[in-house]
Structure 1
């Protein structure tokens, strides 16, 4: 891909940092991480017998063989301001089914990243997982006026790369030997959505999440890519 470099002056003022707040959707609700309320459900979703064994392959932490270590990780995330963690609550079951966060929050430049994504198996590849990411993306880009939304992952993490592309993030290349995670080299794939691209992504999300886009078996009629790029 060829990029058009831009060093033009901009009429820009710093934006606000994201707040700890609740985001209500059709399928899911996002709440600030609260270990006392969400801990049991998250342990079951992320480490229970029906959890995804590949969940922790590319995350910098986990898996957690003991609940105490898992709770230590959750407690540290609860009080952190950057990363700023949210729990995903399934509206149907009212159970916590995953966590993720904002990070690299830079209001002066209008840049923010979504990451630390740990969704339980029951949530993966569901409308709720797409809606959760939409809710976390829409807040800074639409309500707060950020210029740049970032997504980064291990360059070998095919599932995360596919998710980024499906959601409308644009590849910016690979940072070679960027990090050492769990004793292994990590080359990092970088993606972004910038403000000029956001309206098309936002409109596609809204159309995809509309009830008319799902059949009687709750299967999508039009893909998110088709609605965005068609």
Structure 2
């Protein structure tokens, strides 16, 4: 198909003549000639044709998705209202459709036939396992003249660990001596080292004790504050910004209610309580009594809960909970910490997780699991902050507030913790210099402990051989 040439005439006439020639297209060769492709090699010719077809299909698909997906509609709405129309995470959770009535009825019927495990307030066995140990100082003072009575109130192994740590800190203190308190560092290091208990790793005890010593002996004021706190509550796990206290109704319930109810309290402004409770299976609560009767304070035998207390203000900022403790397989689940909105994603929340995880791995656990609502956009940032790895997603995992919940599953392994996850978090919380010092101290102490172990084995062997020789001589 030849396109006639026009030597005279306007550009419009030439364009009209060129377009009119398209009406005479009858074969594939006519199309190729119209686009100037007829004389090209076959491979190039068909390659260009298929490229054009792919481009056309792609544009068609994109435009269709924009229309069907409602993007153009949202753009129009935003141009009219001046605000974004994509719902936030809380709105998405509140507006989530409820389950079918028949499913809710089946759930209620089956739950009646299923005997729920008993719950309790106060300390579960898991709580006691994680907490630090220490003597009842008041009892010790009261019976200071009765050594046997005093020893009854000292946990097994505490005294021996205290003396060992005291001597180690004398040989290598963590900093300068406080004026007027020459033994403050030794005592701080020793009581925190011994407080870790006899079942934790040596690496954990040294690291925790050195951190505690540094914090306690920063100034005379901090030394007095932490010494007094140990006298009253030796079992608390102390960090730089927060400490963990076993959750108690009398001590923590009112404060936890005040910071999560949504009402203005102290320096905290009012907020939507669904920011805290929207993705949880309980709350918001109308009064503290409802909070007390919820699973926040009612613990199963394989669970533990701790109040996150800010070190500066000595006020709770939230709760951290452990569930599904499985000692047989050395696994446990960590729930996303429940904190007031202004503490969400802060270093305080991260340190609370670090303190729990560090103690769990020091006790011998192999895996910690974290399950989050797949729609919780804010909560899903937390696993990355504390080094967890996403392992998968479970559809229809739970029923929360009569709606379906798909759960993202994250995990932390003891091997990953030792390989660098712990150092990463320690550096984030305490700084690069402290992390480098911690690693160096643990390395040198490990070498020293190994030398002492070998010397002890050698002495024990020599004593055994000596006894055998003496027995033979008789």
TM-score by structure 1 length?
0.78
**Which of 51, 55, 60 is 2:281 aligned to?**
60
Give the match for residue 35 of structure 1: 249
1:1-21, Cα deviation, whole Å (9 max, x unpaired): xxxxxxxxxxxxxxx956252
Partners of 1:52 and 1:150 in 2: how far apart?
Answer: 30
8 Å CA contact 1:51, 1:120 repeated in 2: no
Alignment map for 1:127-138 (pairs within 5 Å): 127-138=347-358
Give the match for residue 225 of structure 1: none
Give how far 1:71 is off.
2.4
1:113-148, Cα deviation, whole Å (9 max, x unpaired): 11152111242232211111100111111x112110
Cα 1:168–1:181 shift into 2, 3 Å: same
Cα 1:52–1:203 shift into 2, 3 Å: farther
Q: Determine helix, strand or coil for the equivalent of 1:168.
A: coil
Higher relative contact order (CA 8 A, sep 6+): 1
Give how far 1:158 is off.
1.5
Cα 1:75–1:138 shift into 2, 3 Å: closer
Give the match for residue 71 of structure 1: 292
8 Å CA contact 1:51, 1:121 repeated in 2: no
Partners of 1:181 and 1:74 in 2: how far apart?
Answer: 13
CA-atom RMSD in angstroms: 2.1
Q: Determine helix, strand or coil for the equivalent of 1:60.
A: coil
Give the 4+ runs in structure 1 shifted more than 4 A: none
**Which of 395, 398, 401 is 1:176 aligned to?**
395
Give the match for residue 381 of structure 2: 162
Q: Determine helix, strand or coil for the equivalent of 1:73.
A: coil
More strand by percentage: 1
8 Å CA contact 1:30, 1:132 repeated in 2: yes
Partners of 2:270 and 2:354 in 1: how far apart?
Answer: 23
More helix by percentage: 2
Specify the structure having the higher radius of gyration (Cα).
2
Give the match for residue 331 of structure 2: 111
Partners of 1:174 and 1:125 in 2: how far apart?
Answer: 23
Partners of 1:126 and 1:116 in 2: how far apart?
Answer: 13
Partners of 2:315 and 2:430 in 1: how far apart?
Answer: 23
Partners of 1:82 and 1:25 in 2: how far apart?
Answer: 25
1:153-177, Cα deviation, whole Å (9 max, x unpaired): 1111112211112211111111111
**Which of 79, 88, 111 is 2:308 aligned to?**
88
Q: What are structure 2's unaligned runs of at least 5 residues?
A: 1-124, 132-235, 434-474
Is the counterpart of residue 147 in structure 1 residue 361 in structure 2? no
Give how far 1:95 is off.
0.6
Give how far 1:75 is off.
7.6
Q: Determine helix, strand or coil for the equivalent of 2:337.
A: strand
Q: Determine helix, strand or coil for the equivalent of 2:427.
A: helix
Partners of 2:378 and 2:422 in 1: how far apart?
Answer: 22
**Which of 182, 188, 193 is 2:412 aligned to?**
193
**Which of 323, 337, 345 is 1:125 aligned to?**
345
